[in-house]
Each structure stands twice: as C-alpha cells, then as structure tokens.
Amino acid sequence: MSGRDRPAAIGLSGAAASAYPWSVLYDRAKIYVEGGSGGNGAISFRREAHVPRGGPDGGDGGHGGGVIVECDPSRRDLGALRSKHFRAGRGHHGQGSNKQGARGDDLVIPVPAGTQAVSVAGLAVDLVEPGQSAVLAKGGRGGHGNKRFSTSVRQAPRFAEKGTGGESGWVELRLKLLADAGLIGLPNAGKSSLLARLTRADPKVADYPFTTLEPVLGTIESDDRQVILADVPGLIEGAAEGAGLGHEFLAHVERCAMLVHVVELAPSSGEPLDNYRAVRDELSGHGSGLEDLPELLVLSKSDLWTEADIADQVRDWQAALGDSVLGVLAVSAATGAGLERLTEKIVAEVPAQVAAPVTPGPGGTEVEYEAEHLTYRPKGEGGYSVEAEGEGVFRIHGHGIEVLFDRFDLDNEEALGYLETRLNEMGVMAELRRAGFESGDDIRVGGYEFELH
C-alpha cells in the first residue's frame, strides 16, 4: 500500500488529512466549571385601583443554568479545553404580578466520544455515544417570592428567598480512545511504523524506546467500513503498577474490541516469547478484562529474516499459542510484506457493531450506561447537630440548615421570625434547649452569627 493510497486519518480525508494529520492526542484536560446562581424571589404587593387589599404577588427567581458535557462525534481530543473556565448563565430575579424569572442558560461543552469525568457532586460521567450528555456542575435554585410565604396568619409577608449559588470546582476530563483495535507491544517493537503504513496517521518513528509518548489514532478503510486503529505507547514490565509510561495508557486499550500484539523477532534485549508473555502479564495485572480481548499476533520486521526462517517462526508461534490468538502473521513495515493480509485480517476480525461498555452501578452490579441529565440531591439535607462553642454561643451544623439560612436576609425581622418557625418545626430549637441554649444567646450557622430570642 503506497503513501498515496493510505486512508485518511480519523475525521479527515483527502488534502485536509494530508495537511493536518492527527499525530498527537490530548487525552486529559482540567477545567473549572461553575453553575449559574439562582435568581432572587421578589417582594411585591398587588396595587390596583379598586383592589384595596391585593396581597403579595412577588414571583419566584429562575434557576441557574448548569454546565453540561455532551458527546460530539466531530471532536477528536481535549486539547481545546485545557485550563479553561466555564460558567453557565444565572437565573433572572422574580418580579411583581407573580412573574417568575427566566431560567439561566445551560453551558454545553462538546467533548469527544470516550470522555470520562467526575462531576462536582462526585458522580461518574462516561460518554460513549453521540448526543449523550451529563451535568458537571448544577445551577443554583431560584428563590421563592413573598407570595409563597403568604398564610392565613401571615397575609402580607415582607420577605422572600434569595437564590442559591451553583456548584463549582475543578473537574478533570479524561479521554479513553474509542478505537476498534489497539496496537500493543514492548517499546520499539515497530507499532508506530505499522500504523504509519496501514493508515494516514503520522506518528513519530525512531529507533529508540518510548518514541511514542501519546496515543495515536489512524483509520483503516475497506470498501464497506472503517476500522479505527490506536498505537498505544510501549509497555514494559511493571506498567500495570506505573512503571515506564505507567498504567494510564492501558486504560485506552479497554475500549478496543481486539488487540494487535506486535512482537519483534530480533529484539535488542530478551527473547521474543518472553517479551510476549511480559506484555500479557501487564494486561492481566491491569485488570478490566484486557487479557480476555481477542488478540492477533504480528511478528514485525520480517525483512530481516529469510522466507524459510519466517515460515518456521510462524509455525513455531502458532504451535506455542494455539487457539489463544486469532492468528499469527509476519509483516514488514519497511518493505510492505504482509501488510495487505494484516489489513484484511483486522477488518475481518473487528465486529461491525462494538457493544458499548457498561458502568458498574451501586453494589458492583453492571448496568447499561445512559447519559441523561442527572438528578442531584444535597448530601446530608435534613440532618443536623448542635454544638456549644463557648459561654452563650451555639453552632448548628448541617448542610440543609446552612442552605436555609443562605436563602434569607437575616437583617429582616420577618425573615428571622420565619426561620425560627422552621427551626421549631425541624426540632432544632428543642435540640438547642437541650444543649443549654437560653433566649438571647448567640447562634452560629455557617458564616452567620446572630442573637436568637
């Protein structure tokens, strides 16, 4: 196969692929995400002619927008996202006449298939199919307007809720290659040279180990389908524990439907069979079932041997490995010998439809992954504790209590009265009295401190 006939690099074709080969994959990006703040509820009263007691009509604030990642098949890596800040739109404030504030706009971040992350709330995100999406940072909730607090005994409330802030924090995006077949083997086994000959990818090729430092993608094209081939950096003994370039690149192989194991027939160190077994041990050590993937054995640099010696080598390897491999092929990236047969074999063995991976659910059970908008519930809401911090000073701990105080203006006497009523209903006042609280003592909740009578 000549250079002119080689298929385009993934995502490109023709002159564009030749001008911009995908030789490096940015597979990690750290981003700061911030959900939009919720809008404040309105304090308003209906004032119309001939309606002497119209009552409260303050509308609710709108919820803040969320920061969402969405699987985009046109994206290939995470290079454009590194060290960037993403902030969703904030919710609009409520208005009179019971007008609710508009919801803040979501901010959608397009990412390539195979992107994984952990959201600000600690939920795992794994996007594998176009259109799948998940929330990285949820927007804040809008505050209730004073209309919501109107009761038979509180007919004209002059307070409303403030909107809460959205979730925010640093999130690391990681990309696992969605390749159909992965080239594995020891450093300098000839994987990059094979990828360059089989596809239009332009990996760095040199005669020293660890020439490949980042995974490289290329595409094999047949008459009726494409097969994505990944060159994974070389593995050495101990890679599963972090030796060499470490175990992180083994994770890329998890997405593959099959492995193409490249073994050098005349290595500079070690015996070929021992080298083969060393890589197999690292696959087993990594876990995730890598050792169970279908494997095609490729004997590289066959141009250094005679045809008779090559035939003997293929026969010996087939006898040693038997049915544990899909086959044994001898190839030469330098002369092109065996490449056509290797291409046909890879295309034939990769399933036309690769099943999407599954993500372990609670308790270790495996469930089919669905990337929809996720439902979040605040941790620990409803739980609280009371602690005496000094003479006449008490602190109330609890996420739900802190959120409750964040939502009201503590300089507003009516709002403080409402909060005291809520604390009574939740049993917090009884807990304070058991801890020794007396009227007029100081109460601390989060960053707030006030006297409670």
Annotate 38-73 with DSSP letters as a single string: PPPPP--B--BTTBTT--B-PPPPPPPP-EEEEE-T
Quote the pLDDT of residue 375: 45
Same-domain check for residues 349 and 434: no
Percent of the chain at pLDDT exceeding 70: 78
Same-domain check for residues 195 and 271: yes
Centre a 10 Å sphere on the Cβ of residue 250 and count the other Cβ atoms it contains.
Answer: 23
- Token code pair at residue 130: 């176009």
How far apart (Å, rounded) are the C-alpha atoms in residues 203 and 38? 48
Let me know if residue 8 belongs to a domain. Answer: no
Task: Name the pLDDT band for 345 (thresholds 50, 70, 90).
Answer: very high
Let me know if residue 57 belongs to a domain. Answer: yes
Same-domain check for residues 206 and 339: yes
Quote the pLDDT of residue 352: 67
Task: Name the pLDDT band for 52 (thresholds 50, 70, 90).
Answer: low
How far apart (Å, rounded) are the C-alpha atoms in residues 163 and 444? 21
Let me know if residue 365 belongs to a domain. Answer: no
* Average pLDDT of span 314-341: 92
Overall number of domains in the chain: 3
3-state secondary structure of 174: strand
The residues that bridge with 385 in the sheet, in sequence order, are 397
Same-domain check for residues 31 and 158: yes
* Average pLDDT of span 59-86: 89
Cβ-based neighbours of 336, under 8 Å, separated by 6 or more: 1, 197
Please give the sequence-ordered ranges of beta strands (E in DSSP) within 279-357, or none if there are none: 295-300, 328-330
Taking CA atoms, 407 is separated from 112, 153, 376, 400, 437, in Å, by 38, 22, 19, 11, 24
Same-domain check for residues 171 and 227: no
Percent of the chain at pLDDT exceeding 90: 35
Q: How many CA atoms lie within 13 A of 131 on its CB side?
A: 1
How far apart (Å, rounded) are the C-alpha atoms in residues 418 and 407? 12
Of 89-98, 342-351, 442-451, the range with the highest mean pLDDT is: 89-98
Same-domain check for residues 193 and 339: yes
What is the pTM assigned to this prediction? Answer: 0.61
Could you tell me where the DSSP H helices lie in 210-335? Answer: 250-253, 272-286, 307-321
370 or 161, greater pLDDT: 161
* Average pLDDT of span 20-29: 51
Residue 339: in which H helix or E strand, if any? helix 339-349
Q: How many CA atoms lie within 13 A of 221 on its CB side?
A: 13
* Single-letter amino acid code for the residue at 300: S
Asked whether residue 452 carries a pLDDT value surpassing 90, the answer given is no
Bridge-based pairing of strands 295-300 and 328-330 is parallel
Residue 431's domain comprises 385-451
* Single-letter amino acid code for the residue at 380: G
Same-domain check for residues 172 and 189: no
Same-domain check for residues 168 and 188: no
Quote the pLDDT of residue 370: 37
